[in-house]
Structure formats: C-alpha cells, structure tokens
Amino acid sequence: MHRTALKIKYISNTHHTAMRYIRLTFSIICIVALNACTQQAKQYNYSIFTFGTLVDITIFGVDQELADTAFELLQKDFDQYHQQWSPWTNGDLAQLNRQLSDITTADDTSITVPPNLIPLIKSSITLSIQSDSYFNPAIGNLINLWQFHRYQEQDIKPPDDELIHSLVEKNPRMSDLSFDEHDRLINTNPAVSLNFGAFAKGYAIALEIEQLRKLGIENAIINAGGDLSVIGKHGDRAWNIGIRHPRSDEVLASVEVMDNESVFTSGDYERVYFYRGQRYHHILNPETGYPTDDAQSVTVIHGDAGLADAAATALFVAGSKHWITTAKKMGIRYAMLIDANGDIHMTSAMQNRIKFLKKTPTSHIILSEEL
C-alpha cells in the first residue's frame, strides 16, 4: 500500500534531533483500556449540532440525573451562542455588523453593543493585536465575498480579483475598534465587519467547560468537530486524543490531554470547494485576501480554549516563516505546523507530548527554542 511520506521539522537555535509528527483534524479516540482491577464508572454521551459542526459531549463518573441536567443546559447555551454570534442569522452579531457598516466617519456616534458580545469583541481585539492581525475577525466582508458558508453547494465560485483587492485596500482590523468608558463601541473603519468563526467555538467551549465545573462535574470532554477541551480524566487515565494526517483519514499520532487543556486545529481541508480545477479553502490571509497557501494544518494545545482557537488560525496564516514568532507573541508553548510541502514544524515542548502510532519518516528536523 502506498503511504504519503511526511517530512518533520523542529525549529531550534542549538541542535537537530530526530522526531515525530503531527496532523490535524482531531478525532477523538478516548481509549479506555480499563484493567480488571479498575472500577468502571458510567459514561454519558450527548451530541449537539451548532457552529456548523457536531459537538460531542462526554461526561464520566456521574449519575444519569446530573448528566441529563448538564446536557440540557449545554444544549440551551450552544443554541443561544449560535443565534447570537453567527453572522448568518438575524441575531446580535448580524445586527451589530449592519450598524458598523452605517458608520461613515470616526466622529460618528458610538454603538451600544449587546452585553453577550462585549467580552467576545474585547478578547478578539487583544488576540488580534498579539498576533499581528494574522487572527483578524474584522474581515467579515471578505469572508462573505468568498462564500465559504456555501461550500457544499454546486454553483459557488471564487470572487473577482477586483472585489478582493478593493476590500483588502480598506484594511479592516480589530484595532479599528475600541470601547469608551461606558462600554459603547467606537469604530473608525466602516469596512469592519465581524466574523468570529476562528474564535467563537473555542470561546463557547470555554464557557461550557466552566458550566460543567459549576455543576460539580469533574471529568468531561467537549469535542466540536475535533476541536476540544477536557476536564479531569477518563477513568484512571488522561484523555487520549488521536491526531490525523491533513491529507488522509489515518491517525498518525496521539496526545494525552490533561485537566483543563484544549486542543484546536486549523486546516485547509475543512471547508473546501473547487472551481475550474482549482482548490480553494476557507482560511484567508487578511493581507492578500486569498486563501493562505503556506500551510496544511496547525495544532495548538493551551489551557484557554478561545486562545487556542484563535492561535491555531493565526499560526496557520503566519505560515512556516512566521509561525514561531506569532506563537511566542500569543504565549503558545505547544504548537505544530504542517507546511504546504508536508514538512512538519514543531516546538520542542510539543515534541514531548506526541506519540506516533506508526514509525514516522524523519528528515530536516529542527527544534524550536522554548517560549
């Protein structure tokens, strides 16, 4: 059987060491090999479709009543988040974007923002600045132009170059937004349109992990299409997560995820369409207006799910030349990037977390310095 060879790169200032690999879309393999002397606790599972993906929730070691209470609460919350934060519904974010587009000068009246959006916007401003705008939720108009929310439809095609260049020239950034002393939003660029597709899912998961903790649940995982957060353990061991190859369905490696950790991946395989033989994916470079072409996937592990979500996109857009600098600025210690050639770049800290299920080919291995 033919296998796709991967080159693995670790970036370091000191030495080269042979190593292993990575990939991305996280499919969860919660491997529970309980031995005979281990007392099994009950596991409860529930699925919610939201944010355009299936969210699988697993709760371990509680009774049925508490699990049902938690599932009901999380269903309600995720439904509310989707309605309020989606740019495609007539919720709070869609209405705010209409107000932002009506602003014509920096002297226009500030905007009253729904309370549920304020922390989302404030956090996004901070993360965008930290990432040098590689993470940029202000490019909602550009995202709309590419129509990746319709990627499964047959008649979709890329936008005209002139329209792309026109939006890029207006240079919408999160730094165009600020809040006054009354938490009213000030916008200095009418080209700003917010789309939290690279942040809302992680932010929502973080909120719901906290909800589970408040209910007294000590062991659980929330997995949203491979992006996930965990609390506690799965029985007597850590949650074990499978890492897939970005160009196949094979699981190449696994990683043990500790209490209160999150694993998020951005990849060029998730929302894709083809037009006249050309492949287009949904992760756009705000500087060019086109899909980023220097990476296949990025995986990040961090204690903050929202930060992990945003950083995975930021590092992907930064690409193989700038990802490590961006990771440092965002405080990311555990990260891996597979570039367009299939070479794998990895922080040395991440190296110690990965276990490969099969022998992985190695070449050009460079370790990054610790953050």
Q: What is the pLDDT of residue 7?
A: 41
CATH architecture group of domain 7-69+219-368: Roll (3.10)
Q: What does each C-alpha distance from 62 to 59, 205, 215 come to in angstroms?
A: 7, 20, 11
Whether residue 235 contacts residue 41, with contact meaning beta carbons closer than 8 Å, is answered with yes
**C-alpha–C-alpha distance, residues 56 and 362, integer Å:** 34
- Find all residues with CB under 8 Å of 325, minimum gap 6, and list them: 318
**C-alpha–C-alpha distance, residues 4 and 140, integer Å:** 36
Token pair 């529930």 is at which residue? 46
Q: What is the pLDDT of residue 13?
A: 39
Helix (H, G, I), strand (E, B) or coil at 308: helix
Model's pTM, two decimal places? 0.87
Whether residue 345 contacts residue 11, with contact meaning beta carbons closer than 8 Å, is answered with yes
Q: What is the pLDDT of residue 108?
A: 59
**C-alpha–C-alpha distance, residues 315 and 228, integer Å:** 18
Domain-wise residue ranges, the chain: 7-69+219-368
**C-alpha–C-alpha distance, residues 363 and 222, integer Å:** 35
Helix (H, G, I), strand (E, B) or coil at 265: strand
- Which segments of the chain have a pLDDT < 70? 1-40, 104-108, 151, 359-371
Whether residue 136 contacts residue 126, with contact meaning beta carbons closer than 8 Å, is answered with no
Helix (H, G, I), strand (E, B) or coil at 204: helix
Whether residue 359 contacts residue 24, with contact meaning beta carbons closer than 8 Å, is answered with no
Q: What does each C-alpha distance from 249 to 206, 228, 256 come to in angstroms?
A: 28, 19, 20
Whether residue 28 contacts residue 228, with contact meaning beta carbons closer than 8 Å, is answered with yes
Which helix (H) or strand (E) segment holds residue 121: the answer is: helix 118-130
Q: What is the pLDDT of residue 104?
A: 61
Quick one: tokens of 349? 């800290």
